[in-house]
Structure formats: structure tokens, C-alpha cells
Amino acid sequence: MQKALNDQVLMEAESSQAYLAMAVWADVQPGLEGITKFFYQQSDEERGHMLKLVQFINERGGKADIPALPKPMKNFKTVKNMFDQFLKHELKVSSSINSLVSLSLSEKDYATHNFLQWYVNEQMEEESVARTLNDKLELIGDDKSGLYLFDRDILNYRSKS
């Protein structure tokens, strides 16, 4: 279980780096202030997810392993392309959390199972946000005024944890 939780530490750290790279990409495009802020905040949130795991592992008598990180994707063709990556990444995280939940049950590790419920809920929320934003971008297509409004309103769609 400890090894699997440490693998999840890596995944959350990778998420934080991936969203930081997205924030930077958006930050240097003209007029994407909302999207930039969204990904800076998302990156911070993922670091929080990582820390929560690190502290849980240590509290349970294990030792968290702080990993080296691969380079994140830094260039995106379009805003839509970046949000596709965002959704894809969150789906990968959800599947990894689900595997952890299965493992905790098969090992009868009920404390970890209980701890993981927070992540199950969080993933439902994050997937839903990522899907909503992708649907909106699908509707907007190449419409610049639509993108203007999307960027203006995006912070209303952030998940809360």
C-alpha cells in the first residue's frame, strides 16, 4: 500500500507541474488572464493533494518518497487542446485513485480506504469541472468573443478543495 500511495504522490506532483506549465503557457498569450489564474490555482491545489498524501503516509508509520519529476507538456496548439490535456490528465488521476481504493480493500487497510474517500470526491468534482469547460470550448469553437467570455468567467467553475 505504501508503494502505491507513494506512486500517487508522484502523480499529484506531476499534476501540479503540468498545470503550472499550462498557467505559464496561458500567461504569455494575450488576454488569457482568467485561464492563467485558473491553472496557477489548480497547480497549487494539486500540490495540496500531494502534501496530504505525504503527511498521511508519514503519520501511518511509513515514509513518503519525494520523487523526481518528468518534464511537463509546455506547448499547446490551442486553448481547447490544453483543456483536452487537462481532462485527459484528470481521468488518469481518477483511474489511479480507483485502483488505490481497490487495493486498500483487498489489503483490508480500512484507514487508508477511509482516507481515500476524500480523493474519490475530489476527482468527481475535478472531472466534472474539466468536462464542463471542454464542453463550453467545444461550443465556442473559433469565436473570439466566446473565448473572451470563457476567460472572464472561468474562475466561477473552479472546484473548491
Q: Does 8 bind ligand FEO (CB under 6 A)?
A: no
Cβ pair 70, 18 in contact under 8 A = no
Q: Is 93 in the site for ligand FEO (CB under 6 A)?
A: yes
| Chain center to CA of 33 | 19
Q: Which three cell numbers stand for residue 135?
A: 464542453
| Cβ atoms of 6 and 65 closer than 8 Å | yes
N-terminal to C-terminal alpha carbon distance within the chain: 25
Q: Based on the shown chain and the rule CB under 6 A, indicate whether residue 46 belongs to the binding site for ligand FEO.
A: yes
Q: Of these, 20, 32, 49, 80, which contacts ligand FEO (CB under 6 A)?
A: 49
Q: How far is the CB of 143 from ligand FEO (least distance, A)?
A: 28
Residue 90 binds to ligand FEO (criterion: CB under 6 A): yes
Q: Which residue's C-beta sits nearest to ligand FEO?
A: 49
Rule CB under 6 A: say whether 86 interacts with ligand FEO.
Answer: no
Least separation in angstroms between CB 49 and ligand FEO: 4
Q: Is 12 in the site for ligand FEO (CB under 6 A)?
A: yes
Could you tell me the smallest distance in angstroms from the CB atom of residue 30 to ligand FEO?
A: 28
Residue 99 and residue 3: Cα distance in Å, rounded? Answer: 13
Smallest separation (angstroms) from ligand FEO to the CB of 108: 25
Min separation Cβ 8 and ligand FEO, Å: 9
Of 22 and 93, CB closest to ligand FEO: 93
Give the separation between CA 86 and CA 130, rounded to whole angstroms.
7
Confirm if 26 and 35 have CB atoms less than 8 A apart: yes
Alpha helix (H) residue ranges in the chain? 2-27, 33-59, 79-106, 110-140, 144-153
Residues that bind ligand FEO (CB under 6 A): 12, 15, 46, 49, 90, 93, 126
